Amino acid sequence: MEITTDYLVIGTGIAGLSFALEAAQQNEVAIITKKADSDSNTNRAQGGIAAVLASDDSTTLHVEDTLQAGAGLCNAEVVKLVAREASAMVSKLINWGVEFTKSQNGTLALGREGGHSKNRIVHAADLTGAAIEEALLGRVKANKNIIIYENHFAIDLITEHHLFDVKEKRSRRITCWGAYVLDTIQTEVHKFLAKVTLLTTGGAGRSYLHTTNPPIATGDGLAMAFRAGGEVANLEFTQFHPTALYHPDGDCFLITESLRGYGAVLRTKDGKTFMEKYHPMKSLAPRDIVARAIDRELKLSGDECVYLDVTQMDPDKTKEEFPNIYKKCKSFGIDITKIFIPVVPAAHYMCGGVKTDIHGKTSIKNLYASGEVACTGLHGANRLASNSLSEALVFSHRTYQDSLNVVQNNIFTFPNIPDWNEEDTFNAEEWIILSHDRQEIQRLMWDYVGIVRSDYRLKKAQRRIRLIANEIEEFYKRTKVTGDLIELRNIATVALLIIRSALMRKESRGLHFNTDYPQLDDSNWLKDTVIRNEASLNYR
């Protein structure tokens, strides 16, 4: 089956849905998502949206906080842009029906998180992402110009690599015309052709054993863009959230940074505070510093976790401000108003991604990226808390504005794109063997490519994962595609890219800490690490 549309959006988080609502004002939009339409990282976002709205705050302060957290690698132009436009994006969400928490005087309640010098976190209790997702999905489903295809998994972007006409290939640089997509229910591969394709596939937390990300976060957009020849950047900067619930049945449930902004304090098993040893902001220090501090304390003590103490705060107010966290912890027998919360760091956010310009354009023609999958330059070497939702909204809006010229081009034509070819493939019986590869990759990434790294650990992980990745690729070429196989292939690709990026950077900066190069090196490494798949250009 062939589906042709003006816009193809891959992913249903805040970046994809907000873009679709704008694009559908004049054009047709197809959205594909590999699971249900509400499965996204956005749905798990607890904290909120960073925006300058308080009288004692300013765009300048927001910019300064972001640059400070980013450890010298932020694109200052992008930082100023997002800080300046974030408040307008909040107003847009309110117009779309998102109900944010308000103070007693009726104004938006503003929280504070680590690294922020002022209260500027707009939130909906402690379920901000879920509130946004619900409101935007409702709008999208009511729009006749938007069709959502659930259980549709993008396999690869359609580019010159798939064309039969060699002469046509050589006449152009890499262009994206959509994607080959697996309908996981009907087990059929379809062609989705689009004038503009937008990647909003989220992050790659599932490359690691412990993560706050949902099961869908397997780096699909990043892997597809790299295979097609797109540039990726700064993948060594994986943010580990300092405080994920430590419980055998907790599945790394995120304990939002807002809880520390509210007054929670980090303590060791014996009840002693420790963050004063690592940063003047103590428990409100930026995430990279807090995560490394916890990692060090655990290695020194041999304990399995540290603790977050909110028992000194008013119990009723705590329940009111953080109802979801209270309810979730209580289900595990932890009353956070009376006892400490056991926490450990977990893979949380990818600060790098598919490299884009200030309009969301990638290095591939007619392919854009927004949200966590993109590297816009906002986050640098470490993301400031709650800047991610602001970035997604601002860049999806800019992407829409920039892409209008492409979509409204009346002479736009698609080349002769072949159907998906499954000749000489078979239904795999060996999947149970390959399923262990996923666990092995995740364990290797956690043990050797985590919060603290060394060249020895990185090279060891690289050797072993490269062998696994080659095995997966051979299996992929001779097997009918399945959702599990596509995810495994993407996880392996992203894992190798993260390791490659980490080995390239011969210093420690932000989220990347290498014991072989423990110091900053501004003279050589005050720059992005950019990788391009040169093998993808062989068609020329």
Q: Which residues are catalytic?
A: 287
Angle (CA) 31 32 36, round 5°: 110
Question: Mind spelling out the 3-state secondary structure of 227-293?
Answer: HHCCEEECCCCEEEEEEEECCCCCCCCECCCHHHHHCCEEECCCCCECHHHCCCCHHHCCHHHHHHH
Two tokens, residue 15: 């970046």
CA 120 – CA 5 distance, rounded (Å): 39
Two tokens, residue 479: 């097997």
**What's the distance, CA 172 to chain centroid?**
31
CB atoms within 10 A of CB 136: 23
How many residues are recorded in the chain?
540
C-alpha separations of 455 from 277, 375, 502 in Å: 27, 24, 9
Q: Among 119, 143, 133, which Cα is nearest to 30's?
A: 143
The sheet that has 530-532: what strands, in order across it?
A: 374-375, 353-355, 231-233, 530-532
CA 409 – CA 400 distance, rounded (Å): 15
Please list the helix, strand and coil fractions of the chain in percent, rounded to the nearest 5, in that order.
Answer: 40, 20, 40
Two tokens, residue 174: 């890499």
CA 514 – CA 506 distance, rounded (Å): 8
What amino acid occupies position 153? F
CA dihedral for 70, 71, 73, 76, sign (positive or negative): positive
CA 66 – CA 43 distance, rounded (Å): 24
CA 311 – CA 226 distance, rounded (Å): 47
Phi-psi category of residue 266: left, alpha or beta, with phi > 0 → left and psi -120 to 50 → alpha: beta
What amino acid occupies position 485? L
Q: Among 72, 56, 98, 12, which Cα is nearest to 379's?
A: 72
Query: Is 152:33 a contact under the CB 8 Å cutoff?
Result: yes
270 exposure class (CB count in 10 Å sphere: 0-12, 13-18, 19+): exposed
Query: Is 57:111 a contact under the CB 8 Å cutoff?
Result: no
CA 250 – CA 254 distance, rounded (Å): 9
